[in-house]
Structure 1
Amino acid sequence: MVLVTAADVTDRRAAGIMLPRLQTQFRKISLVWADGGYTGTLVDWAREKLQLTLQIVKRSDDMQGFVVLPRRWVVERTLGWLLRTRRLARDYETRPDSSEAFIYFSQTMLMARRLASPASPARPERSRWAAAA
């Protein structure tokens, strides 16, 4: 599910729009992981109005350097996959719906490549250069 908003819309406000849509489309969802930007009344609102558990993945103040946070890596990995699409690496779009369409297109192409790939999960994908050697 994708929601692109104007730059002046806060993450918490966008979550208030996104969470009801998410629940409508995926009725069995009960747990959502979020980063520290989604704390506050949003957690209580999600629990009371939507019966969703909004679990905040926080970074500790005493952590030094790079630390993999639980569940946070899933979001970072997905954003990394999206930014491999050249069109999404720069912000060329002027309309939010156009940006959303390119995100859906990028994810569709990624999943189509993975489904069509002959590599199995037990065997890592080989590059085309390794096959020529």
Structure 2
Amino acid sequence: MAQLDRCGPSDATVASTRTTTSRRPYPSDLSDARWALIEPTLSAWRTARMQARARAGITVADPSTSLRDIFDAILYVNRTGIAWKHLPHDFPPRTTVYYYFSAWAKEGIFDRLGTDLTGLARTKEGRKPEPSACVIDSQSAKTSTNVPLDTQGIDAGKKIVGRKRGILTDTLGLLLAITVVAADLSDNAIGKTLLTQASRTYPTITKAWVDTGFKNAAVEHRARLGIDVEVVPRRSNQPGLHVVKRRWVVERTLGRLMLHRRLARDYETRPDHAAAMIRLASIDNLARRITGESTPTWRYT
């Protein structure tokens, strides 16, 4: 097994063109345009780690593993839903790929990418980079057999054993905040966490729309944050599926995220890794939105 590349250079060795492998591209791979959006953040992270080790007197050879290959491998897992040990052999070693995924999740690199790309996507749509309103919803997901029991619970309403994903989006449906908790945690607690996260990253938010599960404690919490929370109930006199004011945006976002098969069930042993997988799916969608690409277009033009 190859030694893990835990730090490395910042420029020519991780250029936007792939030079470390000759493999055929997968549909989940980044195009050159999308890689150009992501590469500066990853290269800066790697440079900072190299400099930190140099200051500590640790001599480390420049790693040969391409950051682009690493990110493509993580996207492959996220999009196809495979286990890490089933990662194709033409990617870097799975231990190396998982190390980078874990480090980027722990150090907030995925969150940073999400914030930066959200600003670019909003600007492209003619909006200000900083949102002023948001929508909140939650989704219960079943867990796999490897998930520790102390990180999951039972959603009594939906009769699901697993975890609950809480997301907060802007009015375009772009993901702003995410939390993953045991399924038995109330929506009120999730709403308080999401509002706190959002207010720190986006202090411009002054309005939020939620469903009836987020009232009481969540609504009271918003007063301390200066956010006006409006509860939007479902129309009980209208049977079947129907569009609910503002809330349809976040429901659409959940549907789009679920196209990434790793999210069909919660396979992550750690809740923060589960949140990172959701954030990664959002980054994939954001990059395509900014560059105007869909899966088939960039590879055959």
Kindly indicate whether residue 269 of structure 2 is the aligned counterpart of residue 70 of structure 1.
no
For residues 225 and 204 of structure 2, what CA distance do their matches in structure 1 show? Answer: 12
Deviations 1:31-65 (A, max 9, x none): 01111101124323312x11111111111221122
Cα distance in 1 for partners of 2:289, 2:218 equals 35
Give the aligned partner of residue 204 of structure 2.
28
Partner in structure 2 of residue 81 of structure 1: 256
- The answer to whether structure 1 residue 8 and structure 2 residue 184 are counterparts is yes
Partners in 1 of 2:287 and 2:220 — Cα distance?
38
The structure with the largest helix share of the pair is 1
The farther-off stretch of 12-21 and 27-36 is 12-21
- Does 1:44 find its partner at 2:216? no
Matched, 1:116 2:284: no
Post-superposition shift, 1:109?
0.7
Q: Residues 62-95 of structure 1: CA distance to partner in whole angstroms, max 9, x if unpaired?
A: 1122211111110110000110001111221121
Partners of 2:218 and 2:292 in 1: how far apart? Answer: 41
Where does structure 1 lack aligned partners over 5 or more consecutive residues? 119-124, 129-133
The answer on 1:93 being equivalent to 2:268 is yes
Give how far 1:20 is off.
1.7
CA shift, 1:23, in A, is 0.7
Structure 2 residue aligned with 1:122: none
How many residues in Structure 1 have an aligned counterpart in Structure 2?
121
Q: Which amino acid aligns with 2:258?
A: L
Give the residue type in structure 1 aligned to 2:243. V
Cα deviation, residue 107, structure 1: 0.6
TM-score in terms of structure 1 length:
0.81
Alpha-carbon distance between aligned partners in 2 of 1:13 and 1:31, rounded to the nearest angstrom: 18
Tell me which structure has the larger Cα radius of gyration.
Answer: 2
Runs of 4+ displaced beyond 6 Å: none
CA contact (8 A) 2:211 2:247 kept: yes
Q: 3-state DSSP class of the match of 2:178? A: coil
Q: CA distance change for structure 1 residues 114 and 45 in 2, over 3 Å: closer, same or farther?
A: closer
Q: Which amino acid aligns with 1:25?
A: T
Q: 2:187 & 2:269 partners in 1: Cα distance?
A: 20
One-letter identity of the residue aligned with 2:213: G
SS in 1 for 2:209: strand
Q: Give TM-score, length-normalised by structure 2.
A: 0.38
Identity of aligned residues (%): 37
RMSD: 1.9
Match of 2:280 in 1: 105
1:58 aligns with 2:233: yes
